[in-house]
A and B are shown apart, each in its own frame.
Chain A
Amino acid sequence: MISQEGEQGQRLGMVVSGSLNKGVEVKLDSSASVEDMAVGRYVTIEGNKRRFFGMITDVSLGVTDQRLTLTPPDVSDPFIAEVLAGTATYGTLRVSPYLAIGGDVTSLIEGPQPVKTVPSHFSVVNLASDRDMELVFGKEDKERFWIGNPLDMETKLCLNLEEFVKRSNGIFGKSGTGKTFLTRMLLIGMLQKSTAVSLVFDMHSEYGWEGSSEQGRKVKALKQLFPSKVAVFTLDEENSRRRGVSTDFVVRIGYDEIEPEDIGLLRQLLNLTEPAVEAVYQLHRRFGKNWLQGALDLKDSEETGALLKELSIHESTFQNLRRGLATIRRLPFIESHAPTNAVRSILEHLDRGINVVLEFGRYRDITAYVLVSNMLARRIYAQYQERMERAMGEDTAKPTPLVITIEEAHKFLNPEVSSQTIFGTIAREMRKYNVTLLVIDQRPSGIDSEVMSQIGTKITCLLDNERDIDSVLAGVSGKSELKSVLAKLAAKQQALIFGHAVPMPVTFQPREYGSAESYKGFIFSEETSRQAEKDIEELWG
């Protein structure tokens, strides 16, 4: 590791050419070895009037005389090798400048701004020091949460979570790259540093009580760390009890709570035809709220035949629909009459500022997940919309910002259904109603590009499918440069964050999660901030 010398980072070289679009080319000094460089590293460029912050996006080798490549010198002689290094043979870096900070007082106060130009010829390039990083990303404070360390640096990389939750966000990466750990950490961050509350649709039951690392080690999740701020809801009480999870609420869904729109979403999963979905609406008109029960109760009789004829539903369409509805009926948490109202209960918790994690237990098949999450989210969103509109009209308090976390997002947000699912709507309409999404997915190319373009901050672990990489980086400036950074991420514990909440893209190593020490770190910062609030309260009475 390269040592940091005080305020100024180690000198790397100087700018020799470049453009704003393609980034600047930096010739390395002979003292800096190409082998110490890494794409994704941060550098500062000392221009005449401004200081630029940029990221290394490519490293290459050059020679001054082509003959060198044809008759290579005898580099086994250390003297020859040393003389040629950095002179006849040299390394170059491609650096994408992202931010600039002017030298005068006003621009110092304004802080780093996006670049609109490039540094002049032969500006000196240094490795960014810890202080530089702090200047750009800020210190850990009331709103900023320490998410990890920039690659090969000691600095704490902090994310402004208040800003983060204002937009929908995405966490992407192949399976096994650490998406879950990252999400868990961000949920803790949101719980501590932002005013937003979270609703997590926890498909694999790993955010509520405890999760496990790939080595099989158990790690504590939200409820264990912050019992007073998290409620665990479950669809599968038995499973939760077996795992020793103390649940706050058991979710049951009544037949009468399922609406025709919910079936529309499941069309693909239930293998329904288009007319079958149409038929649902007709049945709903006929039977009203209890249409599902009504439809299931229809026997193969002449009466039914007449009814279907009246509703102009074809016999085969009806059979198709019935098969689909039977799948739903088989879901154990669906009952003809639900004793409790899950939506109301979730909303009550959220209103009190308590984060809700909904565990799916054994029912992790995608039908259940899509059905339940959509149903709940739609109703919650409707409530939020109503309250927000009322708040705007009557000038009353707005509802607490809500972040809904969904996994396997491409199932809801693929181009075919994203227009129908509530998540598509939330992603598109965004923060108007104080509800945003945290999308977790391993196959971002499956997500509707329209939705993808609305995602504010993207955090991505390693992706190696070309289409996935393209879809994550769609619409980002300097896409090809980021692509090379993204493709070179380590398979574990490295991620790239870019977008709304960060001033420039950063590759970082997520904060450690899972050791007793790390828990203490999370809880400690929670307590100190609470203590500070208390002190302020006491001071001002």
Chain B
Amino acid sequence: MNTKEVQRVGEVIEASTTEFVTQCYELYQLPPLGSLVKTRDQEVELYGIVYYAATTSIEPGRRPIARGKDEDSEEAIYRSNPQLLKLLRSEFSALVVGYKDEKLYHYLPPQPTRIHSFVYLCSPDEVKEFGKSFDFLNMLINAHLPVPIDELIAASLRQMSEVYEDRQAFLVAAGKELAILLSGEFNQLKAILGRIR
């Protein structure tokens, strides 16, 4: 695979069976909510869906202080305080939704990835390949996450649909899968459908 096309965004700083946390190389260079990212553990590629992102101080006990009172613009704050870029960090969490060794599986990999594995944004082709099956939706629905599941599902489908020429057909197919998965939960289904149309 041509890695040049694939954008490297950061590396893993925390990893478990179900998710991995990535710190971005550049402050605020976060992938969008719901986007598909991947990381590599030797021969195995792990796929994750970004469900949470945060920018915080590198030291948990030290909170940033307001500095812009005499500055003209927000950019100026960063220009006057170049150390800020080093004192702050952006990180995001991704839910593991599948892996690929010889072929693509839409379920959890045998091992979590290693710390410092590089994390990439997936190329449109990879997104398309991954989106051939909607099995990941079931993993999303059943995940216990600090963010509202409906929002995450809607965001991931919106993100994925971007790479398809016939965006509507993809969303309808996904909607139908959701309608089956959420057959007893019409209100939740309605909420998600309202967010992806």
Q: Chain B residues with Cβ under 8 A from A311's Cβ?
A: none
Which residue of the partner chain, among B175, B178, B183, B189, contacts A79 with CB atoms under 8 Å?
B175
Q: Chain A residues with Cβ under 8 A from B172's Cβ?
A: 79, 82-83
Q: How far is the CA of A84 from the CA of B189 in the complex (A)?
A: 10
Residues A30 and B176 in contact, CB atoms below 8 Å apart: yes
Residues B176 and A83 in contact, CB atoms below 8 Å apart: yes
Number of A-B contacts (CB under 8 A): 42
With A65-B184, A79-B168 as known contacts, state yes or no: A73 contacts B175, CB within 8 Å.
no
Residue of A nearest to B168 (CB): A79
Q: Chain B residues with Cβ under 8 A from A68's Cβ?
A: 186
Q: Chain B residues with Cβ under 8 A from A64's Cβ?
A: 179, 183-184
Interface size of A by CB at 8 A reads 16
Residues A83 and B179 in contact, CB atoms below 8 Å apart: yes
The reply to whether the CB of B79 lies closer than 8 angstroms to some CB of chain A is no
Residues B171 and A87 in contact, CB atoms below 8 Å apart: no
With A68-B186, A88-B186 as known contacts, state yes or no: A79 contacts B176, CB within 8 Å.
no
Residues A65 and B175 in contact, CB atoms below 8 Å apart: no
Q: Chain A residues with Cβ under 8 A from B178's Cβ?
A: 83
CB distance from B154 to the nearest CB of A (A): 13
Residues A83 and B184 in contact, CB atoms below 8 Å apart: no
With A65-B184, A67-B187 as known contacts, state yes or no: A80 contacts B179, CB within 8 Å.
no
**A66-89 interface with B by 8 A CB criterion:** 67-68, 71, 73, 77, 79-80, 82-84, 86-88
Q: How far is the CA of A73 from the CA of B180 in the complex (A)?
A: 16
Q: Chain B residues with Cβ under 8 A from A88's Cβ?
A: 179, 183, 186, 189
Residues A79 and B171 in contact, CB atoms below 8 Å apart: yes
Q: Chain B residues with Cβ under 8 A from A82's Cβ?
A: 172, 175
Q: How far is the CA of A333 from the CA of B184 in the complex (A)?
A: 79
Residue of B nearest to A80 (CB): B193
CB distance from A421 to the nearest CB of B (A): 63
Residue of A nearest to B184 (CB): A65
Which residue of the partner chain, among A71, A73, A77, A86, contacts B176 with CB atoms under 8 Å?
A86
Residue of B nearest to A66 (CB): B186
Residues A65 and B186 in contact, CB atoms below 8 Å apart: yes
Q: How far is the CA of A64 from the CA of B182 in the complex (A)?
A: 10
CB distance from B78 to the nearest CB of A (A): 42
Q: How far is the CA of A88 from the CA of B197 in the complex (A)?
A: 17
Q: Chain A residues with Cβ under 8 A from B197's Cβ?
A: 77, 79-80
The reply to whether the CB of B190 lies closer than 8 angstroms to some CB of chain A is yes
Write out, one digit per residue, whether chain A residues 43-67 have a CB within 8 A of any chain B CB (1) or not (0). Answer: 0000000000000000000001101
Q: Chain B residues with Cβ under 8 A from A30's Cβ?
A: 176
Interface size of B by CB at 8 A reads 17
Q: How far is the CA of A80 from the CA of B185 in the complex (A)?
A: 15
Residues B186 and A79 in contact, CB atoms below 8 Å apart: no
Residues B175 and A83 in contact, CB atoms below 8 Å apart: yes
Q: How far is the CA of A79 from the CA of B187 in the complex (A)?
A: 16
Write out, one digit per residue, whether chain B residues 147-179 have a CB within 8 A of any chain A CB (1) or not (0). Answer: 000000000000000000000100110011011
Q: Chain A residues with Cβ under 8 A from B184's Cβ?
A: 64-65
Write out, one digit per residue, whether chain B residues 74-90 have a CB within 8 A of any chain A CB (1) or not (0). Answer: 00000000000000000
Q: Chain A residues with Cβ under 8 A from B190's Cβ?
A: 73
Write out, one digit per residue, whether chain A residues 114-135 have a CB within 8 A of any chain B CB (1) or not (0). Answer: 0000000000000000000000
CB distance from A540 to the nearest CB of B (A): 65
CB distance from B68 to the nearest CB of A (A): 44
Q: Chain A residues with Cβ under 8 A from B180's Cβ?
A: 87
Residue of A nearest to B171 (CB): A79
CB distance from B58 to the nearest CB of A (A): 44
Q: How far is the CA of A84 from the CA of B178 in the complex (A)?
A: 10
**B97-125 interface with A by 8 A CB criterion:** none
Q: How far is the CA of A71 from the CA of B183 in the complex (A)?
A: 15
Residue of B nearest to A84 (CB): B179
Which residue of the partner chain, among B175, B176, B179, B186, contacts A67 with CB atoms under 8 Å?
B186
Q: How far is the CA of A30 from the CA of B193 in the complex (A)?
A: 17
Q: How far is the CA of A80 from the CA of B190 in the complex (A)?
A: 8
Q: How far is the CA of A65 from the CA of B184 in the complex (A)?
A: 5
Q: How far is the CA of A86 from the CA of B178 in the complex (A)?
A: 12
Q: How far is the CA of A83 from the CA of B196 in the complex (A)?
A: 12
With A79-B193, A80-B193, A80-B197 as known contacts, state yes or no: A87 contacts B176, CB within 8 Å.
yes
CB distance from B197 to the nearest CB of A (A): 4
Which of A30, A67, A84, A87 gathers the greatest number of chain B CB atoms within 10 Å? Answer: A87
Q: How far is the CA of A64 from the CA of B186 in the complex (A)?
A: 9
Residue of A nearest to B175 (CB): A83
Q: Chain B residues with Cβ under 8 A from A80's Cβ?
A: 193, 197
Q: How far is the CA of A56 from the CA of B178 in the complex (A)?
A: 30
Write out, one digit per residue, whether chain A residues 506-520 have a CB within 8 A of any chain B CB (1) or not (0). Answer: 000000000000000
Q: Chain B residues with Cβ under 8 A from A83's Cβ?
A: 172, 175-176, 178-179, 193
Q: How far is the CA of A82 from the CA of B168 in the complex (A)?
A: 10
CB distance from B192 to the nearest CB of A (A): 10
**A476-512 interface with B by 8 A CB criterion:** none
Q: Chain A residues with Cβ under 8 A from B185's Cβ?
A: 65
CB distance from B28 to the nearest CB of A (A): 33
Which of B176, B180, B184, B185 gathers the greatest number of chain A CB atoms within 10 Å? Answer: B176
CB distance from A85 to the nearest CB of B (A): 8
Q: How far is the CA of A377 from the CA of B176 in the complex (A)?
A: 67
Q: Chain B residues with Cβ under 8 A from A87's Cβ?
A: 175-176, 179-180, 183
Q: How far is the CA of A67 from the CA of B190 in the complex (A)?
A: 12
Q: How far is the CA of A102 from the CA of B103 in the complex (A)?
A: 39
CB distance from A505 to the nearest CB of B (A): 36
Residue of A nearest to B197 (CB): A79
Q: Chain A residues with Cβ under 8 A from B183's Cβ?
A: 64-65, 87-88
CB distance from B38 to the nearest CB of A (A): 29
CB distance from B167 to the nearest CB of A (A): 11
Q: Chain B residues with Cβ under 8 A from A84's Cβ?
A: 179
Residue of B nearest to A90 (CB): B179
In the A-B complex, the 8 residue pairs with the closest CB atoms: A83-B175, A87-B179, A64-B183, A79-B197, A65-B186, A88-B179, A87-B176, A67-B186
- Give 20 new A-B contacts, CB below 8 A, not counting A82-B175, A86-B176: A30-B176, A64-B183, A64-B184, A65-B185, A67-B187, A73-B186, A73-B190, A79-B171, A79-B193, A80-B197, A82-B172, A83-B172, A83-B178, A83-B179, A83-B193, A84-B179, A87-B179, A88-B179, A88-B183, A88-B189
What are 28 of the A-B contact pairs (CB < 8 Å)?
A30-B176, A64-B179, A64-B183, A65-B183, A65-B184, A65-B185, A65-B186, A67-B186, A67-B187, A73-B186, A73-B190, A79-B168, A79-B172, A79-B175, A79-B193, A80-B193, A80-B197, A83-B172, A83-B175, A83-B176, A83-B178, A83-B179, A84-B179, A86-B176, A87-B183, A88-B183, A88-B186, A88-B189
